[in-house]
Structure 1
């Protein structure tokens, strides 16, 4: 048998010896908080709770000790991404800590057919949900079945109309994902943050809300106060919306910690407690996790969360508070707060991406924004060194939307093109784009004023306010009349389908996760704001607004479809390089600067925390660094 990895192949035997240990550890010990439950008979003994071959995890530094509460904070009741990154990273497979291989997790092994259509997984024998019911192949089949329902869920690859998937259950621990067409990238999806979808629904629990298995589900839903069974299912097995998934303590989980106090719209905190059926052990056979509980303060105030960290009331966090502005404050407060700063290497490749709307509903603006010369002119008007010095205290360097220097796809020419501050080159480019300088500002060729509005969300990145004010001044000095439109995030997203906006900004995703996050290199999805309607055409979604792309974008899309069906990693790399070469030539979006390293805050007694950490959402930091093996040193 061969097991597919992120890069290349490795035998099952070698993987077992190198990655997860040669077999189950001899000794088996549990957290003291579970002893009384076992003694009373309320909980089975450890050997009955663990699978026959638990995943053996090598600690980052040392074998840990049990106990303690990990304190962190959420920014409001919708801040579920922090939970996904800390609690929920446990899919069929996972990335290793170096982000260069896909390794076993709930699945101990897998086989891939020669045509890359069939992926057969072998689950660990004896896995159990946190309520003690078996986790089997039927749970996988149930998740795919339910997420395929028209009215339920998002389901990522499960709902793909371009390449539908089905499940063949072979036995309790063996099943196959069978795709209609070859799928060369499914393991990356399963190893990323979206991989939790497939292992999120217990058939034993969730089938009671599903009419196929409970003929009274519709009536029971109405009796419970829900108009449809789908709404009832969302409330109880909340994977259809981000806001519900952490709100039901009865929902079974396979993660190291399970819901204790749910995250609801009115919650002031959410808490999680250890899962007594967690299926991982350390190299001495101690059941993980080491830490007993997680508590997350829910606050709408970033200032409050920052103050908590300065006061030593947060044990580990980076989200929301680890900003450039806060870094000097946190650095000076380390001794008083009894914490340390560790390095995060961001996956993002840019501090800000400026996206002009190439699909604008106004024909005149569409023609201008789609003109490469116009975008070149804008780029040459940006004094990136000034922005870096003023906003980022000199950290970073001028950079376009391009893979990071650490990426195997790095292209220095692509990263640096048009980054020179050159007003004369900008003027020449604007003239080539058909603009006319009339007094202080440029106009269209017919004399119509050109006023450009750039949408932004200041609350998402505090440094964006300073960056955009400088950008407005710099572009204004070069003859572009710019208005900044600071709006709510909901409206920000709602404007995209209508197409009636000039430009929006966002951070530069896709610096390391180039293949998985190509939004700025090609119109790949809804986050490709610069060509939203082309992206709908590519996805086969929203036909009422979808538009056929320009030839170069269509070529990229064809290459990406070929890449996604290619089973050979080297060929996928070559195809991605071709996509990037087309992006380099057509220059669809404008970048500002390469981010400097970020940081996290960790209490001094928190151990087994890796440094540095690669930091990304698709590589949901700190999840791949195994927070379940973190522990508090006893003093």
Structure 2
């Protein structure tokens, strides 16, 4: 087996030296814990920390304890902000540059030569926030539970093409054993998706599971739930699901633990420091520095924006750091006593237009699968007008392609068909078999072509402005467009039915190209443009799965090879081949490359990095270690 602990030899030596240097100084804790320790309600610090706590280098300086970090959630379902601030503590994690996978709960790991067996060594003495040991059995329990066909979501644990099992060696050593080679699992574990594996305390959650409690079904009904699965979800909802933040009894491994839970009618959710948190700074002070997190829960963006302007938010970017708000926040810095920092987005596009290549209507399916039709649509978009009007000139015309900062960047792919050219559009529509009858194009048989585009305005406020401009541009070029602003639940439900013309979303996959190829190939459920092809590939929803076009099947074969490849250079080459096929077949349409984003931070909040790379799989700001932020 080869060791890939993420440190390298010199890094491992430096890390151990740092531990040795800080070891004798492990005596400092937050003042709010002193009375609990002196009264005997809480063990002393040396009994709460593992034998080798993870030592964290502060961004600027050693911090001071205390204070409450104020931010806001948009409604009771806004779980992503919690995942990005509280919950990023998997087995491994990304470094602050998003270049390397480094130790976290696991201090080291080894990978078999065939990339099927990954053996992890946990830190000795890790404890849940209730003081009970965190062990290999908790990992094995999570895999066992999520392997249940009736429970849990679509994680790597429930991949029919590559099933996984756990071999427990001892309390701190276990192996993930895959049926086939898995060359991308470490990135999965280092991303926000890695939370799933470390989110379930076996001692607590097993009481809701029939495999450990034969009365779980009856007890679930007695508690008001129809099934044990519903009871389990209510008490031990997995990973980033909202309910996980609604049960203060559920043990945590994070820097802060639930104090006031997030529920459907909550007006705020609060978190308090975990006295058993297993990280320290370079002087041996137990982290986190900040005592509490207080998140206002509001459906009103106006209220959250006003809170930030009034200096009532200490750090936030989610929801409020929009292009429209930027001048407002810039002008209000002095009065609100805050500053604006730079976010470099991983998204490669402000909006991706996805026509449904698997439409249940045969005539529309044939049209939408025609590359010439998509080329025509792209040439009708005046991207410069959209950038000037909606984004105040920030950005540039761009297709769904890796960002310029990515090693996969291909200028030709990024810029193809981005010219506003009505004549080229007309030629493309003619090649696609459309006929211009009066103001609008029709099918060849004279049937009207009315295209409905679904959007969710509540997710991105600028999408409405973008789509209204795009509607005018497309209709001027002869394509009759109807905008359908719908609820997010319905937005997702339509994918299974297949009776939708097009949907839009943001341009994921600009930097995390291998991990997020949804627009380059039909890789998963977010590949809305080919939902039934991805179902065929992933073995999901067999009742609607359809065999893909040959070019998409070629991509799938390449990606299957990529996922089983242990050599990063070979994986990169396979991804380049997938991108070349995407470039040739042009499955989706992009609008513009996003300009840099920003965050809002109070002037006395320290150790915040600038700029930050901003992504979901790299769940900003979590990889920049908010537990080492402090108030000066």
CA distance, structure 1, for counterparts of residue 349 and residue 546 of structure 2:
28
Deviation at 1:241, TM superposition (A): 7.9
Deviation at 1:446, TM superposition (A): 1.3
- 2:563 — aligned with what? 564
- 2:491 — aligned with what? 492
Could you list the per-position Cα deviations for residues 9-52 of structure 1 after superposition, in whole angstroms to 9, with x for gaps in the alignment? 65355235159934444312000000000000000000000000
Aligned partner of residue 246 in structure 1, secondary structure:
helix
Maintained 8 Å contact 1:148/1:155: no
- 1:540 — aligned with what? 539
Maintained 8 Å contact 1:20/1:57: no
Deviation at 1:208, TM superposition (A): 1.8
Maintained 8 Å contact 1:455/1:504: yes
- 1:11 — aligned with what? 8
- 1:374 — aligned with what? 373
CA distance, structure 2, for counterparts of residue 231 and residue 475 of structure 1:
46
Maintained 8 Å contact 1:116/1:566: yes
- Written as runs of structure 1 = structure 2, the 5 A alignment for 1:383-422 is 383-422=382-421
CA distance, structure 2, for counterparts of residue 581 and residue 16 of structure 1:
42
Aligned partner of residue 175 in structure 2, secondary structure:
strand
- 2:274 — aligned with what? 275
Aligned partner of residue 574 in structure 1, secondary structure:
helix
Aligned partner of residue 205 in structure 2, secondary structure:
helix
CA distance, structure 2, for counterparts of residue 241 and residue 139 of structure 1:
18
Deviation at 1:362, TM superposition (A): 1.0
Do the aligned partners of residues 398 and 101 (structure 1) sit closer, same or farther apart at CA in structure 2, a change above 3 Å counting?
Answer: same
- Written as runs of structure 1 = structure 2, the 5 A alignment for 1:212-611 is 212-239=211-238, 242-611=241-610
CA distance, structure 2, for counterparts of residue 511 and residue 20 of structure 1:
37
CA distance, structure 2, for counterparts of residue 149 and residue 482 of structure 1:
44
Deviation at 1:238, TM superposition (A): 1.5
Maintained 8 Å contact 2:7/2:102: no
**TM-score, structure 1 as length reference:** 0.98
Maintained 8 Å contact 1:26/1:284: no
Deviation at 1:210, TM superposition (A): 1.9
CA distance, structure 1, for counterparts of residue 229 and residue 40 of structure 2:
37
Deviation at 1:589, TM superposition (A): 0.4
Aligned partner of residue 56 in structure 1, secondary structure:
strand
After superposing the two structures, state which structure 1 stretch, 496-505 or 222-231, moved more. Answer: 222-231
After superposing the two structures, state which structure 1 stretch, 25-34 or 167-176, moved more. Answer: 25-34
CA distance, structure 1, for counterparts of residue 627 and residue 7 of structure 2:
26
Aligned partner of residue 339 in structure 2, secondary structure:
strand
Could you list the per-position Cα deviations for residues 131-189 of structure 1 after superposition, in whole angstroms to 9, with x for gaps in the alignment? 00000111111111111112221261111111000000001110000000000000000
After superposing the two structures, state which structure 1 stretch, 293-302 or 231-240, moved more. Answer: 231-240
Deviation at 1:380, TM superposition (A): 0.7
CA distance, structure 1, for counterparts of residue 459 and residue 121 of structure 2:
41
Maintained 8 Å contact 2:2/2:113: no
Maintained 8 Å contact 2:122/2:173: yes
CA distance, structure 1, for counterparts of residue 586 and residue 466 of structure 2:
21
CA distance, structure 1, for counterparts of residue 472 and residue 451 of structure 2:
13
Aligned partner of residue 18 in structure 2, secondary structure:
coil
- 1:26 — aligned with what? 24
Maintained 8 Å contact 1:20/1:56: no
Maintained 8 Å contact 1:358/1:369: yes
CA distance, structure 1, for counterparts of residue 35 and residue 339 of structure 2:
36
- 2:47 — aligned with what? 48
Maintained 8 Å contact 2:247/2:258: yes
Alignment size in residue pairs: 630
Aligned partner of residue 245 in structure 1, secondary structure:
helix
Q: CA RMSD in A?
A: 1.3
CA distance, structure 1, for counterparts of residue 480 and residue 107 of structure 2:
59
**TM-score, structure 2 as length reference:** 0.98
CA distance, structure 2, for counterparts of residue 498 and residue 19 of structure 1:
55
Could you list the per-position Cα deviations for residues 569-622 of structure 1 after superposition, in whole angstroms to 9, with x for gaps in the alignment? 000000000000000000000000000000000000000000000000000000
Aligned partner of residue 344 in structure 1, secondary structure:
strand
Aligned partner of residue 213 in structure 1, secondary structure:
coil
Deviation at 1:530, TM superposition (A): 0.6
- 1:123 — aligned with what? 122
Maintained 8 Å contact 1:139/1:202: yes
Q: Which runs of 4+ in 1 moved over 4 A?
A: none
Maintained 8 Å contact 1:258/1:273: yes
Aligned partner of residue 576 in structure 1, secondary structure:
helix
CA distance, structure 2, for counterparts of residue 631 and residue 180 of structure 1:
45
Maintained 8 Å contact 1:21/1:57: no
- 1:74 — aligned with what? 73
Deviation at 1:448, TM superposition (A): 1.3
Instruction: List runs of 5+ in structure 1 lacking aligned partners.
Output: none
Maintained 8 Å contact 1:526/1:532: yes
Aligned partner of residue 121 in structure 1, secondary structure:
strand
CA distance, structure 2, for counterparts of residue 149 and residue 240 of structure 1:
16
CA distance, structure 1, for counterparts of residue 499 and residue 341 of structure 2:
43
Do the aligned partners of residues 533 and 130 (structure 1) sit closer, same or farther apart at CA in structure 2, a change above 3 Å counting?
Answer: same
Maintained 8 Å contact 1:139/1:199: yes
Maintained 8 Å contact 1:3/1:12: no
Maintained 8 Å contact 1:358/1:366: yes
- Written as runs of structure 1 = structure 2, the 5 A alignment for 1:143-182 is 143-154=142-153, 156-182=155-181
